[in-house]
């Protein structure tokens, strides 16, 4: 694990490079802080990565959401989304971002580009020292994982760069608890008043015993698998189909990438994805309010646009888009 000074130097180096340029695991270790009541605070103590080669106490994820109007052979009128890793997470070329970056030079294409821009989130681990959330089932291992969005991460990063923080917040003896406070701004959750405690605190005997018994998570184990060349081609194929307004096709892509909650095998996938016949069609109801969901994939703060509250643009044929861009370049 790097020292506080080394982490600050690395963060400053990353900031200099970017300035001016355009979840998983199968357990219940993730603490769903987004479900805490409004105007309440939970206290978290972050811990270092179990992978000592990682300089930071977090791992950064970059994911792309590819939306389809429905599922071929299934419910063709219910939108589904496939979340795929962005190759820029591994410092490699992402075909989707190569395609959409020129779109932001054209005002008519910006909204469409927003839909496919990568979303960042950060994987941390630590203790829930004080929870304002009543959980039905808490894991035996008290070391939890946290999927943090950029708005919260920027608070953590700013504190790291503050010269008044003398020790790294994950330090066993002189670390600092994080007070995660939830309020609302309009219809969205707001965590901007979250902050680190003013006083340092050594880990308790119970917390030390948990680390001794269970060990720390290797955060890299909860990162997405790097796509193969074949899978990168499939991701780009899905992207083009999505821009074109096509349905998600389980027969073409189901063996590699699936919408969340859609279960089917790779054999005869389209048939498996189809819903069972109902005795009579139910009347179409008004669109329900979205369920509370993890703010895990907030907008990438390096995106060349402001994504808050954007209205999606109507679908355009991908060939029309490419033609517009080429004519503009000419």
Could you give the percent of the chain with pLDDT greater than 90?
A: 65
**Candidate ranges 27-36, 106-115, 224-233, 297-306; pick with highest mean pLDDT:** 224-233
CATH class of 1-264+296-330: alpha beta
Taking only the tens place, the pLDDT of each residue in 129-138 is: 999 999 988 8
Residue 26: predicted pLDDT: 55
**Confidence band for 85, pLDDT divided at 50, 70 and 90:** very high
pLDDT at residue 31 above 70?
yes
**Candidate ranges 18-22, 59-63, 259-263, 296-300; pick with highest mean pLDDT:** 59-63
Residue of 137 and 64 predicted with greater confidence: 64
Average pLDDT of the residues in 187-192: 92
Residue 177: predicted pLDDT: 98
Could you give the percent of the chain with pLDDT greater than 70?
A: 73
This prediction's pTM: 0.74
Average pLDDT of the residues in 226-240: 97
Residue 3: predicted pLDDT: 67
What value does the mean pLDDT of the chain take?
A: 82
Which residue in the block uniquely carries the two structure tokens 């720390």?
A: 216
Average pLDDT of the residues in 244-252: 96
Residue 270: predicted pLDDT: 39
Residue 244: predicted pLDDT: 94
Average pLDDT of the residues in 152-164: 94
Average pLDDT of the residues in 169-173: 96
Residue 294: predicted pLDDT: 46
Taking only the tens place, the pLDDT of each residue in 276-326 is: 333 333 333 333 333 334 444 444 444 554 333 333 444 455 556 555 654
Q: Which of 232, 264, 269, 265 is nearest to 252 (CA)?
A: 269
Q: Which of 62-76, 185-199, 221-235, 275-289 has the lowest mean pLDDT?
A: 275-289
Residue 330: predicted pLDDT: 52
């Amino acid at each position: 694990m790097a020292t506080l000074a080394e982490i600050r130097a690395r963060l400053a180096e990353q900031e200099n490079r970017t300035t001016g340029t355009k979840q998983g695991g199968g357990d219940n270790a993730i603490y769903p802080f987004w479900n805490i009541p409004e105007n309440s605070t939970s206290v978290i103590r972050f811990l270092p990565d179990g992978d000592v080669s990682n300089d930071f106490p977090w791992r950064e994820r970059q994911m792309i959401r590819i939306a389809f109007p429905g599922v071929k052979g299934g419910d063709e009128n219910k939108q589904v989304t496939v979340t795929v890793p962005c190759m820029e997470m591994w410092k490699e070329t992402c075909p989707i971002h190569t395609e959409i970056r020129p779109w932001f030079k054209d005002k008519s294409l910006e909204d469409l580009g927003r839909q496919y821009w990568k979303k960042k989130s950060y994987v941390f681990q630590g203790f829930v020292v004080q929870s304002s959330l009543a959980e039905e089932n808490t894991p035996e291992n008290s070391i939890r994982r946290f999927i943090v969005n950029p708005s919260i991460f920027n608070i953590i990063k700013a504190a790291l760069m503050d010269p008044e923080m003398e020790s790294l917040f994950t330090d066993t003896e002189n670390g600092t608890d994080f007070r995660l406070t939830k309020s609302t701004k309009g219809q969205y959750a707001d965590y901007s008043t979250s902050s680190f405690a003013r006083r340092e605190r050594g880990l308790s005997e119970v917390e030390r015993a948990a680390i001794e018994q269970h060990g720390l998570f290797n955060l890299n184990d909860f990162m997405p698998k790097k796509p193969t060349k074949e899978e990168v081609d499939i991701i780009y194929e899905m992207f083009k189909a999505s821009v074109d307004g096509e349905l998600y096709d389980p027969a073409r892509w189901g063996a590699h990438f699936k919408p969340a909650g859609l279960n089917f095998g790779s054999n005869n996938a389209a048939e498996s994805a189809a819903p069972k016949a109902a005795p009579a069609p139910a009347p179409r109801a008004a669109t329900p309010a979205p369920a509370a969901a993890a703010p895990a994939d907030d907008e990438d703060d390096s995106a060349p646009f402001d994504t808050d509250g954007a209205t999606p643009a109507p679908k355009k044929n991908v060939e029309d888009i490419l033609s517009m861009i080429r004519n503009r370049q000419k």
